[in-house]
């Protein structure tokens, strides 16, 4: 029976804007994520237009990985990480996105980080753009709506591909690119600031602009992949999709049809462009029905064909259900809503937990593309308590991860080629959706709180030793 590969990439995942802090030092420019206030369970995250307008705890300082990277990477190495997923902040390299020469201090920071990884034999997995872009590009072009962003992004890729040759091998062009196919993606992944937009979750939405921005991201991604393939043949280029399997709530064919359509638009559309290098056939009708007219240049469709990815990565937190019955409750969710699945429990943040759905999802994706897959985000956001003796007994997190790893194993037995697994927020960091610190995912606790207090000290949770054992046994001891 098949098992996890011998060289299975066990590790953890992070993103620059959620953990680096040092948001304006060493020449860094403001990114879209720097223009978001922190939030909490009761106060939602907001988008501001000027830094003076808001309070930014904890997002601007985050967990200050910028100054703690040695300590943090040493802890990852102690757990036995083979891979560490992180993103480069575009604004450290090109502060406004429009400079012609990169910022040396920004480049040097990631040199230090990659050298530290190398010291422990940890392979970096780099997301080139993770939910942020230079805010100056938002002001000038309304984010990715402007075609100019393609060239700015490619210039940024050229700079980092060249600089980190020999240090980085695995690259992901855009984090959860399919967020742009959903209203929440407006500012989060496309940097679009439509008039009246300040509410991070319920933004003013103009679908035509979103899909225009997404098209520009597709072209930019394909150009980056092509560039890497031509100039740096050792590079492995991947896509990253927020994969949310949508089930029909019942076997009523109307529900089944609705689920298929939801999966097509939210999961497959972006995946197909990345992997097959072409828009899928169902896109045309969707665009027509929704009055979406995308402006393309003559060579765009050829460019998409020339930049197909080598491997497929995705985040997996939950599944959702849909129904044609309009009276059903809407439960909200991560990036898209849906109705409650009566067979599943939910996290304290309402994300429905579905380990078996991961096996199903892996089979779905592999069946369609047959290229190597990697789960680059998965995990349980929870509010951890420190016991009197100083320990943090996060058995709930261990159970969540164990059940998901068990299902990954089943998928491997089903024949899926799975390269690796990087649970999200391997060290506590700021939540992307709510902007709070209270929603923790880590194996490592960080003393940092939503009111900006905390001494930033690091402390191992119970899951730290558990995950170390999992890695050492290549997933046998769970």
> Exactly one of 377, 403, 406, 410 is catalytic; which is it?
377
- Of 117-136, binders to ligand BGP (CB under 6 A) are 131
385 is catalytic: no
381 contributes a contact to ligand BGP by CB under 6 A: yes
What is the CB neighbour count within 10 angstroms for residue 274?
A: 27
477 is catalytic: no
- Whole-angstrom distance, CA of residue 345 vs CA of residue 356: 13
- Of 231-260, binders to ligand BGP (CB under 6 A) are 242
Identity of the residue, 130 or 215, whose beta carbon is nearer to ligand BGP in the bound complex: 130
354 contributes a contact to ligand BGP by CB under 6 A: no
User: C-beta of 424: minimal distance to ligand BGP in Å?
Assistant: 5
> Exactly one of 61, 123, 176, 436 is catalytic; which is it?
176
Q: Are 374 and 311 in contact (CB under 8 A)?
A: yes
87 contributes a contact to ligand BGP by CB under 6 A: no
Identity of the residue, 121 or 350, whose beta carbon is nearer to ligand BGP in the bound complex: 350
User: C-beta of 191: minimal distance to ligand BGP in Å?
Assistant: 15
User: C-beta of 9: minimal distance to ligand BGP in Å?
Assistant: 18
315 contributes a contact to ligand BGP by CB under 6 A: yes
- Whole-angstrom distance, CA of residue 120 vs CA of residue 74: 8
- Of 383-442, binders to ligand BGP (CB under 6 A) are 424, 431-434, 439
User: C-beta of 436: minimal distance to ligand BGP in Å?
Assistant: 9
Count of residues near ligand BGP by CB under 6 A:
15
15 contributes a contact to ligand BGP by CB under 6 A: yes
- Whole-angstrom distance, CA of residue 10 vs CA of residue 475: 9
- Whole-angstrom distance, CA of residue 242 vs CA of residue 351: 14
Distance of CA 222 to the CA centre of its chain: 18
- Of 438-467, binders to ligand BGP (CB under 6 A) are 439
User: C-beta of 121: minimal distance to ligand BGP in Å?
Assistant: 26
- Of 171-190, binders to ligand BGP (CB under 6 A) are 175-176
- Whole-angstrom distance, CA of residue 366 vs CA of residue 354: 19
φ, ψ dihedrals at 84, nearest 5°: -135, 115
Angstrom CA distances, 338 to 269, 304, 394, stand at 19, 31, 29
Identity of the residue, 249 or 309, whose beta carbon is nearer to ligand BGP in the bound complex: 309
- Of 65-84, binders to ligand BGP (CB under 6 A) are none
Site residues, ligand BGP (CB under 6 A): 15, 18, 131, 175-176, 242, 315, 377, 381, 424, 431-434, 439
Report the catalytic residues. 176, 377
């Amino acid at each position: 029976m098949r098992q996890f590969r011998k060289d299975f990439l066990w590790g953890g995942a992070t993103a620059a804007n959620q953990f680096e802090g040092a948001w304006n030092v060493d020449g860094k420019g403001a990114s879209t994520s720097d223009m978001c206030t922190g939030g909490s369970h009761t106060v939602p995250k907001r988008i501001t237009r000027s830094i003076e307008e808001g309070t930014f705890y904890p997002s601007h300082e985050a967990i200050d990985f910028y100054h703690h990277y040695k300590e943090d990477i040493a802890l990852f190495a102690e757990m036995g990480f083979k891979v560490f997923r992180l993103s480069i902040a575009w604004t450290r390299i090109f502060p406004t996105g429009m400079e012609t020469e990169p910022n040396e201090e920004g480049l040097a920071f990631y040199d230090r980080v990659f050298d530290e990884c190398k010291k422990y034999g940890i392979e970096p997995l780099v997301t080139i753009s993770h939910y942020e872009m230079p805010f100056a590009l938002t002001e000038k072009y309304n984010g990715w709506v402007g075609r100019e962003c393609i060239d700015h992004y490619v210039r940024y890729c050229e700079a980092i591909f060249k600089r980190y040759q020999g240090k980085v091998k695995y690259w992901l062009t855009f984090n959860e690119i399919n967020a742009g196919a959903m209203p929440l993606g407006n500012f989060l992944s496309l940097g679009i600031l439509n008039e009246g937009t300040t509410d991070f979750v319920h933004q003013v939405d103009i679908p035509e602009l979103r899909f225009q921005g997404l098209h520009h991201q597709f072209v930019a991604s394909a150009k980056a992949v092509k560039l890497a393939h031509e100039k740096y043949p050792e590079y492995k280029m991947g896509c990253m999709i927020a994969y949310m399997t949508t089930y029909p709530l019942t076997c009523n064919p109307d529900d089944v049809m609705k689920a298929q359509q939801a999966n097509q638009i939210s999961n497959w559309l972006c995946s197909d462009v990345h992997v097959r290098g072409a828009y899928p056939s169902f896109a045309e009708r969707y665009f027509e029905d929704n009055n979406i007219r995308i402006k393309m240049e003559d060579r765009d469709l050829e460019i998409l064909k020339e930049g197909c990815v080598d491997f497929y990565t995705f985040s997996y937190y939950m599944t959702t259900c849909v129904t044609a019955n309009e009276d059903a409750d809407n439960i909200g969710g991560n990036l898209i809503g849906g109705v409650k699945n009566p067979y599943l429990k939910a996290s304290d943040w309402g994300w429905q937990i579905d380990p078996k759905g991961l096996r199903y999802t892996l089979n779905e994706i592999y069946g369609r593309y047959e290229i190597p897959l990697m789960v680059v985000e998965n995990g349980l956001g929870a509010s951890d308590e420190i016991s009197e003796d100083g320990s943090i007994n996060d058995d709930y997190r261990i159970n969540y991860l164990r059940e998901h790893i068990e299902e990954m194993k089943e998928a491997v037995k089903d024949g899926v080629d799975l390269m690796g697994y990087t649970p999200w927020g391997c060290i506590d960091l700021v939540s992307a959706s709510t902007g709070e610190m209270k929603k923790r995912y880590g194996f490592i606790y960080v003393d940092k709180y939503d009111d900006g207090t905390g001494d930033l000290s690091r402390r191992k949770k119970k899951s730290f030793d558990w995950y170390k054992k999992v890695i050492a046994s290549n997933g046998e001891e769970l």
